[in-house]
Copies of this chain bind each other. A is one copy, B any other.
Amino acid sequence: MKTLEEKILKEGTVLPGNILKVNSFLNHRLDVDFLMEIGKEISRLFADEKIDKILTIETSGIAIAVAAASEMHLPVVFAKKHKSKNLSDDLYTTIVHSFTHGTDYTVVVSKEFLSKGERVLIIDDFLANGKALIGLIDILNQAGAKTVGCCCVIEKGFQGGGDALRAQGIRVESLAIVDEMTDATVTFR
């Protein structure tokens, strides 16, 4: 998505630890008119698929999922991140390792909001090593739901998570794929 690449080049900052900071439109301030354009693009990319629901994960996935869902007229379920390991039986749970923070966290979705046979599109803001997506796919598998595909706004291609999922036959669409980034510039695939 050309306008997204331009926005990343204009507003993004590369921080130590391979962090691409896009707080001005995606992760703290939300450029909502632009997010609605992103939602339209996601809708266009998956127009050939029958989709029943969008699954995302708090916090930064929510705005993007809502933008896409408003265009596609679908409900969204957002997975929650839990510190606690004492969880009730009515939750699907999975453990996700955070590369950024070096810790594990538990991701949960209420069983009442995912149904067997449902066709679900997963949406998130960033795709790096793919651990969050793998966790969400695990939850969909537990529910007996079908992962139609994954759509991320920015993929850090050099971290390999997206390509590993594609190699497993999962449809992964990213609106911008960063193949290299330095203090000076960001190079897209």
A contact residues vs B (CB 8 Å cutoff): 23-24, 28-33, 35-36, 58-59, 62-63, 65-67, 69-70, 73-78, 80, 109-110, 112-113
Instruction: Indicate how many identical chains form the complex.
Output: 2
Q: Smallest CB–CB gap between A121 and chain B, Å?
A: 13
- Cβ B74 vs Cβ A32 within 8 A: yes
Complex: chain B residue closest to A58, CB-CB: B59
Contacts known (A70-B36, A70-B67); A29 close to B113, Cβ less than 8 A: yes
- Cβ A66 vs Cβ B67 within 8 A: yes
Q: Smallest CB–CB gap between A142 and chain B, Å?
A: 16
- CA A32 – CA B24 in complex, angstroms? 24
Query: Can you pick out 28 interface pairs between chain A and chain B where the beta carbons lie within 8 Å of each other?
Result: A23-B110, A23-B113, A28-B78, A28-B109, A28-B110, A29-B76, A29-B110, A30-B66, A30-B76, A31-B75, A32-B70, A32-B73, A32-B74, A32-B75, A33-B73, A35-B70, A58-B58, A58-B59, A59-B59, A59-B78, A59-B80, A62-B62, A62-B63, A62-B66, A63-B66, A66-B66, A66-B67, A67-B70
- CA A67 – CA B70 in complex, angstroms? 9
- Cβ A69 vs Cβ B28 within 8 A: no
